[in-house]
Amino acid sequence: MHFDSKLPDVGTTIFTVMSRRALEEGAVNLGQGFPDYPIDERLSQALIEVVAEGRNQYAPMEGVIELREQIAQKLHTSYARRFDPQTEITVTCGGTEALYDSIQAVVRSGDEVVIFDPAYDAYEPAVRLAGGRCVRIPLTPPAFRFDWDRVRNALSERTRLIIINSPQNPSCSIADAGDLDALAALIRDRPISLLADEVYEHVLYDGRRHASVLAHPELRARSFAVFSFGKTLHATGWRVGYCVAPPAMTAELRKVHQFNTFSIVSPLQHAVARYLANVPEAWSGLATFFQAKRDRLAGLLRGSGFEPVPAAGTYFQLVDYGALCGGGDTEFCERLVREAKVATIPLSPFYADPPPMMLLRVCIAKRDETLDAAAARLCEFAKRV
Ligand SMILES: Cc1ncc(COP(=O)(O)O)c(C=O)c1O
């Protein structure tokens, strides 16, 4: 039987492809975004304890209450507002599930969803599976700023959702308070919800502060805000994230969540809750930690031909290779993994219609030795070409 794909143009993601190529080539992998250093010993210990205590059966659909209470406390510390763990906070399988559930809860057949290119790859397939269509608005290098006039012109009767991601993967740019005000003014009188992907909420550099939709009274009343302990606790494989939204929106999100994953791994939720109870503000050093890594790699690469682009946040760094080669980024990444033995991610797959640019994304959530080894290989390659 011929199987008619619902997503015929969706292939294996560039992250999986480059991680596979890194293994094949014995390359240093700065491609996919995950740490190569251990998690906090106290977090591992908490998991061992809760398993031994027997926290091994189904968790409640909305998340274990101990964790939702810790999340409410964390949100209060970060955004000076109390959210109700019973009606406004849902634990999900990473940020990814929260994104998917929010989109399914809002988007109907024929609806339009505004996203910004370069866009994280999970948004568009979820919109299409819901029967909607993405309207993609480019953020143009080198500054990757929002063009709110362009957004206004892109809105239609069918626009149902806008997805913003700040700090933004892969551009490493941020939406500031002025951007959120501009966005609020645009959607004030329209039936448009907002999906705010804030998984890098704690990774902003050079003293910048995160402008969360949760701290914006007008926006939070119509937003799903998505977060990830994978990013915040350096544990991407745990797949524990959460979504914060007003009660009516949370109720709709949970309708999707309960028939999607139903509930998230019970001992992992208990372990994160226990860890946060013992290490309050575990995330407070994240910006300093990653800024040191950003500066270390940038210092090693500057002047080599791989020019670091100023990064405001996320645990990524863009690198401009225009001085070395004029070719396409996907081909150049393949050449780098083969010849320099360093895996990186090209930027063009994040665009529907890529502008002229010669940029690669590297992940800096790596041990210093890994960053040093990658930089040495890149510099050596640059000398050769
Ligand atoms: C912008 C962005 N949103 C969401 C996610 C997904 O988060 P999680 O790993 O918790 O599912 C990622 C992961 O890389 C991301 O970069």
What is the pLDDT tens value at each position of the chain, 385 positions in all? 999 999 998 888 888 999 999 999 999 999 989 999 999 999 999 999 999 999 999 999 999 999 999 999 999 999 999 999 999 999 999 999 999 999 999 999 999 999 999 999 999 999 999 999 999 999 988 899 999 999 999 999 999 999 999 999 999 999 999 999 999 999 999 999 999 999 999 999 999 999 999 999 999 999 999 999 999 999 999 999 999 999 999 999 999 999 999 999 999 999 999 999 999 889 999 999 999 999 999 999 999 999 999 999 999 999 999 999 888 999 999 999 999 999 999 999 999 999 889 999 999 999 999 999 999 999 999 999 8
Q: How far is the CA of 132 from the centre of ligand 1 (A)?
A: 21
Q: How far is the CA of 385 from the centre of ligand 1 (A)?
A: 35
Does ligand 1 come within 6 angstroms of the Cβ of 33?
yes
Does ligand 1 come within 6 angstroms of the Cβ of 228?
yes
Other C-beta atoms closer than 10 Å to the C-beta of 86 total 13
Ligand 1 atom closest to residue 239's alpha carbon, by position in its atom list: 10
- The residue written with tokens 């398993």 in the block is 51
Alpha helices (runs of H) in the chain, residue ranges in sequence order: 14-25, 41-52, 65-79, 94-106, 123-129, 148-154, 177-187, 217-220, 229-232, 247-260, 266-278, 286-301, 329-335, 368-384
Does ligand 1 come within 6 angstroms of the Cβ of 169?
yes
Q: How far is the CA of 94 from the centre of ligand 1 (A)?
A: 7
Burial class (CB in 10 A: 0-12, 13-18, 19+), 64: buried
φ, ψ (nearest 5 deg) of residue 84: -85, 115
* Cβ pair 227, 195 in contact under 8 A: no
Does ligand 1 come within 6 angstroms of the Cβ of 35?
no
Ligand 1 atom closest to residue 98's alpha carbon, by position in its atom list: 11
* Cβ pair 47, 267 in contact under 8 A: yes
Q: How far is the CA of 199 from the centre of ligand 1 (A)?
A: 6
Ligand 1 atom closest to residue 230's alpha carbon, by position in its atom list: 10
Does ligand 1 come within 6 angstroms of the Cβ of 31?
no
Does ligand 1 come within 6 angstroms of the Cβ of 230?
yes
| H-helix or E-strand spanning residue 28 | strand 28-29
Which of 124, 165, 228 gets mutated to test ligand 1 (max ligand atoms within 8 A of its CB)? 228
